[in-house]
Amino acid sequence: MTKQEKANQILEILEGLYPETPIPLDHQNPYTLLVAVLLSAQCTDERVNKVTPFLFEKANNPYDMINLTVEEIKAIIRPCGLSPRKSKAIYDLSHMIIDLHNGEVPQNFKDLEAMPGVGHKTASVVMSQAFGVPAFAVDTHIHRLAWRWGLTTGKNVEKTEKDLKRLFPREKWNSLHLQIIFFGREYCPARGHNPLDCPICSKYGRRSYLKTFE
């Protein structure tokens, strides 16, 4: 079986399991999605969704956000971890959105990635989920699964992103990113995972990975 044939069959499984792909981070607009994704770094979506209602009640747009102090933002988002860094990033990027983009979240990678706390993965999520631009947001979880399934030999998320974009149709990238995340949580977690019981790993898993469980 070629890698492309394997990718096609994995896509079929994922689409059968997850025909709907709701965005797991609660948000109201592109700005609140940007902030929520930033907060999700090294934090679960569940915890972010418990924190953001308090933050967005006070500020769901950059103009209201800069009326808060960094310390006020930090106090609200503390449960998400890395609050000193994240609170300053949220405050500073809100100023940038107002000063450079007329208060609107920019719809391109260059301007998004120029903002503090916004890397390529965060920008990809915003571009795909807020603006519908095809993007494949590869984080460490998707990187791990793509390696387990033998879809990439990449040593980093950048190489994995390139490999996955070559294997899957462009029009599927936005939903596929979420389908892989949902699958990983339900069937293919980082720890305590037996690939022999996994709907994808058991059929298409990397041989060297499966051998350790046989």
155 is catalytic: no
Contact indicator for 118, 93 with CB cutoff of 8 Å = yes
Q: Which residue in the list 121, 159, 163, 165 is annotated as catalytic?
A: 121
Tell me how far CA of residue 93 lies from CA of 25, 111, 115, 139, 213, in angstroms. 19, 11, 6, 22, 46
- Quick one: how far is CA 149 from the chain centroid? 19
121 is catalytic: yes
Residue that is written with structure tokens 């769901």 in the block: 60
Q: Give Rg (Cα) of the chain.
A: 18
Residue that is written with structure tokens 């793509």 in the block: 146
Q: Which residue in the list 74, 86, 139, 163 is annotated as catalytic?
A: 139
Contact indicator for 30, 105 with CB cutoff of 8 Å = yes
How many Cβ atoms are within 10 Å of 57's Cβ, its own excluded?
A: 10
Contact indicator for 127, 133 with CB cutoff of 8 Å = yes
Query: How many angstroms separate the CA atoms of 121 and 50, rounded?
Result: 22
* Residues that are catalytic: 121, 139
